[in-house]
Structure 1
């Protein structure tokens, strides 16, 4: 009899009884502490179920709230009973009711028998490790924590804030250097007896009673005072997520747990029938390997990354409420053209033919979304209905890019469209935006509206586009963009068209041999001059001479460069 098991039980009493019998069947005495919060009726039934086991004892019950002194009291009481009732025990292994042996108990006994003076307890100073979650590392030893963090959160937070404001600091008992580590340890009889029989134990207990989460620091600190050989690690496999909550193991973790080579694991889901059935079959495996939880650390690291970062452009329950957790606002690159469809009559068809990508119309226009081919529904059952789109324009764009990943998407945009996507668009590093500023005036120029209506609409559209351009040029914007004034674009359209197509990075990228058909701009300069004369200054188009025809005519004494290129 070399190993005794102290079990702290508060739930799933049937599973705890099953594991306790497994320990005693291998010759390990067990002392069980059952949380005082468990009803008297359930506790009596639990004791009755194990009454036939002579190697099982029950220790005095204490209320065990997370992060409070009760857990240490429970451990002390059960450990004292273990040392008193089983003098042959040389190592005491602390486990919970949700712990499950992963290897034959004989292997644990042999392992500890070969290391009779070694204490296995994770123990490190707060300055050495970044384990703590929630901002309380060194402060847990210098402030007082009389309130339960789970049951009295408001009092807990206010009392901490008050102590910080007053500059209160507790005095650490002489000779103690606070250490922290996993609650689940395996100590030698010599070290555990020294801690429990210390003449200064009353002083130590009074100090740690008001430390936050003392079960992770009481034995970890005092073991440093008495142990002659500490291995700062736990023999129990316990993994925690980024919020400090323990991972729960289910049936589908069977192979993962086997690869760890650890002696014990927690927390096991009480309904994981397969795990209990497999691991509680105590066959002599003959395994002599060191426990190595590092074998599965990579898997847990990936799980944490997937939980916190997810996949770019896919909004998950674990990330959606948290700003800054997006890991990329959208899943892949896409291109937005503003002003091109207004300046060129067949731009969508030309671009699709030239680049081979899917080219949409005004997806966020005043009416329904203009998907390529004017389909009412596209990938992922994304509807073109305006009511659905406008309920959350940013999410709509994100869904469109996610649903069509693997295929580059392009769509038209303009100041008359829904501006709800601008914050996402400008902040998205996947967005490539090409703008011909002022091109929104072409449809107005060709409309049959009276000039008063045209003037008012032109002023509104120019204001909207000006704000959009300002957002694109913001130092905080991450979208890539190109901006040409309409005047400079019309003067020589082939070069900016080639630039816009090249930046789409399509496999079929090549030198352009043709351009889309430009709208007839005869009289456009005079149209702009009339707007000026009416008191509206159209400055985003660039410098259009009032009597010049930039599309088809030429200035006196100057021949206009052609923009059609023949092979």
Structure 2
């Protein structure tokens, strides 16, 4: 079972290298999209590692912007152009880390062919705080002065927006593991629906729902498993998950998940050391 990991990264080459080494497997290729705002210096040596490829069509990524979707799509396209017989594509951030060995990850996915592991909630009634993302215009992807003032004015004047194609919006976490043929479906649907493209480019944090929404409203809906296989702790509140430390070790090891996020080895490397030891012992 061949697996393509797509990592969206923007900093910390040492931690990225550590993640890559933990994902390394004879049947795994690793594709890295490095934020175009980030200098390649410091990361170039990673391209010399076996089965590691840097996405050539890089984009500048801003938090909550459409460009995160574009970076993901660019990665999907380059994975497909590689023409390799991957069974799954696994989307990760540079701050993710596996909770088990690469061998166990491959064994689990091999035992669950054609399942799409994505976290999703219906906007209405389960994730109502996300409704403004599709009902209002968002100009955060436009790097122009006064964009938020303009955004407020536009939303005051214009009527509520509606997601094209009568799509039922679902989403939550942007990170997922899906079969290659569903990546192909997403790209085909996206390319054939320019109206949807225009809509999403004026949406806040569309990376957290567009891919789930496309598949949820397709003939592939039955393949969706409402589990992204990730341990993420939102208990701290706010718009970002908790940065995990050695204090979270027990919860991580008891979670039964394949991956977790997020980590920062400059703040706590002990938790990553522990996870490495656990993987070696498996």
Superposed CA offset, 1:412-452 (max 9, x none): xxxxxxxxxxxxxxxxxxxxxxxxxxxxxxxxxxxxxxxxx
Counterpart for residue 231 of structure 1: 225
| TM-score, normalised relative to structure 2 | 0.88
From 183, 189, 206, the equivalent of 2:174 is: 183
RMSD: 2.3
* 1:54-453 equivalences in 2 (<5 Å): 54-59=50-55, 60-85=57-82, 87-130=84-127, 132=129, 137-147=130-140, 155-156=147-148, 158-198=149-189, 199-226=191-218, 227=220, 228-240=222-234, 241-271=236-266, 272-281=268-277, 282-283=279-280, 285=282
Contact 2:5–2:31 (8 Å) recurs in 1: yes
2:25 and 2:102 in contact (8 A); partners too = no
Q: How far apart, CA to CA, are the structure 2 residues paired with 1:103 and 1:181? A: 24
Secondary structure of 2:73's partner?
Answer: helix
**Structure 1 unaligned residues grouped into runs of 5+:** 286-567
Give the whole-Å Cα distance in 2 for the aligned partners of 1:235 and 1:131: 24
Contact 1:83 1:89 in 2 (8 A): no
Instruction: Provide the C-alpha distance between the structure 1 equivalents of 2:94 and 2:75, rounded to a whole number of angstroms.
Output: 14
Is the strand fraction higher in 1 or 2? 2
1:21 corresponds to which residue?
21
Secondary structure of 1:177's counterpart equals coil
Q: In the TM superposition, what is the alpha-carbon distance from 1:252 to its structure 2 partner?
A: 2.7
Does the Cα contact within 8 Å between 1:142 and 1:171 map onto a contact in 2? yes
Q: Contact 1:26/1:106 (CA < 8 Å) preserved in 2? A: no
Q: Secondary structure at the match of 2:211?
A: helix
116-125 or 224-233, which deviates more:
224-233
Contact 2:121 2:127 in 1 (8 A): no
Summarize the Cα distance change of 1:109–1:210 in structure 2 as closer, same or farther, 3 Å threshold: same
1:89 deviates by 1.1
Query: Would the alpha carbon gap of residues 201 and 165 (structure 1) be closer, same or farther in structure 2, given more than 3 Å must change?
Result: closer
CA distance in 2 between counterparts of 1:129 and 1:153 reads 35
Residue 201 of structure 1: how far off its partner (Å): 4.0
> Equivalents in 2 of 1:27, 1:19: separation in Å?
16
Supply the distance in 2 between the matched residues of 1:80 and 1:14 (Cα, whole angstroms): 27
Number of residues paired by the alignment? 275
Task: Determine if contact 2:137/2:155 at 8 Å carries over to the other structure.
Answer: no
- Per-residue deviation, 1:26: 5.5
In 2, distance between residues paired with 1:201 and 1:164? 24
Distance (Å, rounded) in 2 between the aligned partners of 1:25 and 1:163: 50
Report matched runs for 1:465-476 at 5 Å: none
1:5, 1:30 within 8 Å by CA — same for their partners in 2?
A: yes
Looking at structure 1, the residues matched to 185 and 262 of structure 2 have their Cα atoms a distance apart, in angstroms, of 30
**Corresponding position of 1:45:** 42
Contact 2:67–2:141 (Cα < 8 Å) also in 1: no
State the distance in 1 between where 2:105 and 2:128 align.
28
